[in-house]
Every structure is written in C-alpha cells, then in structure tokens.
Amino acid sequence: MELWDLYDIDGNRTGEVIERKPGSFKKIPDGSYHMVCDILVQHTDGTFLLTKRHPEKDVYPGYWEASAGGSAIAGESPVEAAKRELFEETGIKSDNFELVGVIHRCQNHGVFYSYLVVTDCAKDSIVLQEGETTDYKWVSKKELIEHVDSEESIKTHNGRYKALFNRYRAELASEQYQNVLLVNACVREESRTRKLAEEILKDLGGLYTEVKPQTEVSCIRNEEFITARTRDTAQGTLDREKYFSAYQFAEADVIVVAAPYWDLSFPAILKAYFEKINVLGITFRYSPEGVPIGLCKAKKLIYVTTAGGPIISDELGFGYVKALAENFYGIKDVSQVKKEFLDI
Ligand SMILES: Cc1cc2nc3c(=O)[nH]c(=O)nc-3n(C[C@H](O)[C@H](O)[C@H](O)COP(=O)(O)O)c2cc1C
C-alpha cells in the first residue's frame, strides 16, 4: 500500500494521508495537494535521457518522457522523492538536483516539483523499472526540443519545464535568452488585461513563464509563517523548494505584471503574491543603514492593466508596484501599459 501526504498551498503537510489508488486524487479536498516530482536528466556530454513509459500505464501509456518522475511517498521531502524515483526508474544515483519549477495544478490536486539533474553516469548503465519503463535513449538538445514540440510529448510535463525549455530553444536559435516572467493576476476567462499583456509578451519574443497568484499563492494569515521566514532568513536556510516563487521572481530578466483594475487598484491576490516574494535574502536585502537594496536580476518591469472606466489615480495600482520594484527589487525601468474606459 502506497500512502501520500497531503500538503497545503504553502507546501506544509496538512496531516492528512491518503492511499494511492487509481483516481484517488479525486478524493483530495480542494486546497490540498499531493506531491509529484519530475526529473530531467542531462549527461555531462550535453545529451538528455528519454525513457519510454510502460504500455499499461494508466496515463500516457507508451509515451517517451524526459526523463523520470512520480508521486512522493508519505514522509518524503520533494528532493528525497525525486532521488528515489530517479533511482527506481533509471538506476541513476545523484545528489545534483537543481529545482527549476514548482507548479500547483488544481485539476488533479498536484503540486509538481521539477528538477534538472546533470550526471556523468555510464550512458549504457540505465536500469529500466519493471512495469514503469520499457526503453530509453539519449538525445541531443535539438532532439529534446523537437520531441517536446511534437504531438508525441506530454504537454503537461512540458509546461512544468517551460522556462528551461525556452532557454534551450533560444540557445538552439543562437538568440540571446531572456527569462520573461508573466505574473498573471487576471481572473476572467476572456480577460482583456491578459490579452493586452499577450501583445507585450509577443514583442518580448513570445517565450515566457507564467505564475498565477490565484492558484499558486495564499495570503500570509498567521504569525507562525512570519516567524519561520524570519528564522530561515537569519539562519540562511532559504530553501529553494520552500521559497521557489521568490527565487523565480529574483531570477527573471523581464517581469510583466498583468492586473485588471479592481476597486481603484488591483486584485488582492496580487498583494498576497508580493507579500510572499518579498523575502529578505532573496528579492532584497538591507544596507547597514536600513535601506532596502534590490537583489532581483530584472532590468525591466511592465505593469499591464485595463479598466472599465477611468483609472482615477495611477498611484493606487501601478504606483504601488513601481515603488516596490524601484525600492525593494532594484528594478529601474518600470512602466505601465493601460487601457481605460473599456465599458463606457
Ligand atoms: C471586482 C471588480 C472591481 C472593479 N472595479 C473597477 C473600478 O474600480 N473602476 C473601473 O473603472 N472598473 C472596475 N472594474 C471593471 C474592470 O476594471 C474591467 O472590466 C477590466 O477591463 C477588467 O479586466 P479583465 O478583462 O482583464 O478582467 C471592476 C471589475 C471587477 C470584477
């Protein structure tokens, strides 16, 4: 019997444990998640490992996958689960796990931790796992991206490695890679703000990673969270797994914030997002004089908004984000793109 721990949106164990059975994720209550880990394996010679899923797997039978992954067993941390899955499915042992993505998927109540592992293992030493994988091959970066872009790839998996695969695409095209992050605080399916942001993203090259505060972020509601974060900062134990959204923000080259104009400002969930990513030691630090100094890589932040009527004061929406960007994150080029009177 395999047991799964359940986690809240912040990655804390809820204390609930469920048994793994086909479709058991459907019994997971809203707001809880089971943990899944992906591992993309790259050899030190530059090639990537693809494994072929067993033809009797429930989902994506017979598909080629890059490279391994599966659900965490109760008690495991994300990296422990990733190490075990990698060893079980390929025979590779490694301590070289770099976290490149964390995504919450509400549809199947999963939180996905996606790792890249660079290994110098013997390339013919891959050990396939009975019932899990039936074949393997090493492919070049070009072949990996061709596979990812083909109908034969697992689209949900590609989404979890979007930033990394975008970097590989740019490298293959010998283009300068820009790590563009879209902070999408739009709620409506037909969001006009989102559409306006897409025009800007197109001008930025069209390759970007998206974070959706509505599904990925919770408000800071208790003192426990603040105490733990202060302690982690003081001890220098700001885990990538725990503070991934702050690292993701700090590492972006360009940030596009898409936020509809709500009640003279922006949706509350965007404020919650900033509260989560304002982590002392990741996105900013203080000078000895107590002045915040930005630690973010981005040179540019574009704030995109649309309003049904007039934007009464830019200060209440864009102005706040601009002040944060300039004073906390160290981003100097901050601009707004807006459309007003859309419902008048
Ligand atoms: C909760 C909420 C609050 C809103 N508040 C305002 C407002 O204060 N002033 C205004 O002109 N429009 C307001 N609107 C209308 C939106 O600004 C307008 O529909 C905007 O284009 C929404 O962007 P979207 O298409 O990306 O959802 C509000 C809409 C909602 C849903």
The per-residue pLDDT for range 147-203, each reduced to its tens digit, is: 999 999 999 889 999 999 999 999 999 888 999 999 999 999 999 999 999 999 999
Last residue of a domain, one of 171, 189, 212: 171
Distance 301 CA to ligand 1 centre (A): 22
Instruction: State whether the beta carbon of 312 lies less than 6 angstroms from ligand 1.
Output: no
Same domain, 165 and 213: no
Distance 304 CA to ligand 1 centre (A): 13
Same domain, 146 and 188: no
Query: Can you tell me which atom of ligand 1 is nearest the CA of 341?
Result: 11
Mean of per-residue pLDDT scores for the chain: 95
Last residue of a domain, one of 171, 197, 232: 171
Same domain, 117 and 88: yes
Contacts of 18 by beta carbon, 8 Å cutoff, 6+ apart = 3, 4, 6, 24, 27, 28, 34
Distance 40 CA to ligand 1 centre (A): 41
Same domain, 13 and 48: yes
Task: Give the CATH number of the domain where residue 215 resides.
Answer: 3.40.50.360
**pLDDT, tens only, 247-306:** 999 999 999 999 999 999 999 999 999 999 999 999 999 999 999 999 999 999 999 999
Same domain, 186 and 287: yes
Q: Which of 184, 191, 196, 261 to mutate to test the pocket of ligand 1 (most atoms within 8 A of CB)?
A: 261
- 200: in domain: yes
Q: 107 pLDDT band (50/70/90 cuts)?
A: confident
Domain that holds residue 26: 3-171
Query: Can you tell me which atom of ligand 1 is nearest the CA of 260?
Result: 23
Q: Which pLDDT belongs to residue 27? A: 83
Distance 267 CA to ligand 1 centre (A): 9
Same domain, 247 and 317: yes
Q: For residue 94, give Cα distances in angstroms to 51, 87, 118, 155, 208.
A: 17, 8, 8, 26, 30
Which residue has a Cα nearest atom 17 of ligand 1?
Answer: 307
Instruction: State whether the beta carbon of 268 lies less than 6 angstroms from ligand 1.
Output: no
Q: Which of 196, 212, 263, 269 to mutate to test the pocket of ligand 1 (most atoms within 8 A of CB)?
A: 263
Number of other CB atoms surrounding residue 225 within 10 Å = 16
Same domain, 69 and 194: no
Q: Which pLDDT belongs to residue 25? A: 77
Q: Which pLDDT belongs to residue 323? A: 98
Same domain, 238 and 138: no
Number of structural domains (the chain) is: 2
Which residue has a Cα nearest atom 12 of ligand 1?
Answer: 308
Same domain, 274 and 165: no
Distance 207 CA to ligand 1 centre (A): 28
Query: Can you tell me which atom of ligand 1 is nearest the CA of 342?
Result: 21
Last residue of a domain, one of 148, 171, 194: 171
Instruction: State whether the beta carbon of 266 lies less than 6 angstroms from ligand 1.
Output: no
Instruction: State whether the beta carbon of 192 lies less than 6 angstroms from ligand 1.
Output: yes
- 344: in domain: no
- 42: in domain: yes
pLDDT score of 60 more than 80: yes
Same domain, 202 and 73: no
Same domain, 192 and 317: yes
Task: Give the CATH number of the domain where residue 122 resides.
Answer: 3.90.79.10
pLDDT score of 23 more than 80: no
Distance 260 CA to ligand 1 centre (A): 6
Q: Which pLDDT belongs to residue 4? A: 92
Among residues of the chain, what percentage have pLDDT more than 90? 88
3-state secondary structure the chain: CCEEEEECCCCCEEEEEEECCCCHHHHCCCCCEEEEEEEEEEECCCCEEEEEECCCCCCCCCCEECCEEEECCCCCCHHHHHHHHHHHHHCCCCCCEEEEEEEEECCCCEEEEEEEEEECCCCCCCCCCCCCEEEEEEECHHHHHHHHCCCCCCHHHHHHCHHHHHHHHHHHCCCCCCCEEEEECCCCCCCHHHHHHHHHHHHCCCCCEEECHHHHCCCCCCHHHHHHHHHHHHHCCCCCCCCHHHHHHHHCCEEEEECCCECCECCHHHHHHHHHHCCECCCEEECCCCCEEECCCCCEEEEEEECCCCCCCHHHCHHHHHHHHHHHHCCCEEEEEEECCCCC
Which residue has a Cα nearest atom 20 of ligand 1?
Answer: 307
Same domain, 95 and 192: no
Contacts of 92 by beta carbon, 8 Å cutoff, 6+ apart = 41, 86, 117, 119, 121, 126
Instruction: State whether the beta carbon of 344 lies less than 6 angstroms from ligand 1.
Output: no
pLDDT score of 58 more than 90: no
Which residue has a Cα nearest atom 4 of ligand 1?
Answer: 262
Distance 186 CA to ligand 1 centre (A): 10
pLDDT score of 126 more than 80: yes
| Residue whose pair of structure tokens reads 């930025």 in the numeric block | 204
Q: Which pLDDT belongs to residue 293? A: 97
**pLDDT, tens only, 215-239:** 999 999 999 999 999 999 999 999 9
